Amino acid sequence: MIDISNMKELGRAIRDRRRELGYTQAFLADYAGVSASFLSELENGKETIQTGKMLEITSLLGMDICLRRRGE
């Protein structure tokens, strides 16, 4: 399990998993139907108003956002 408290950590977790699976940014972006620049910005932790607010609110509520691989 990975505890996520900011967009940098979320981006790092996404990048690490993509690399673990051997996917390039171009492959994953195409597969997901997004631009490579969007994926790059996500992996670099670029904040959006909605996501940043969501992290702030959950933090204020004393909640942690965690990622886990399905089936584990």
Q: Which pTM value belongs to this model?
A: 0.75
CATH number, position 40: 1.10.260.40
Residue-range definition of the domain harbouring residue 41: 2-67
CB 39 within 8 Å of CB 25: yes
- Please check whether residue 72 lies inside any domain of the structure: no
Dist. CA 17–CA 10, nearest whole Å: 11
Residues 40-66 pLDDT 10s: 998 999 887 668 777 877 787 778 887
Dist. CA 35–CA 59, nearest whole Å: 30
CB 37 within 8 Å of CB 27: no
Residue whose tokens read 């631009």 = 35
Q: Greatest CA span in the chain, whole angstroms? A: 37
- Please check whether residue 10 lies inside any domain of the structure: yes
Dist. CA 11–CA 15, nearest whole Å: 6
Tally of domains within the chain? 1
- Percent share of the chain, pLDDT over 70: 96
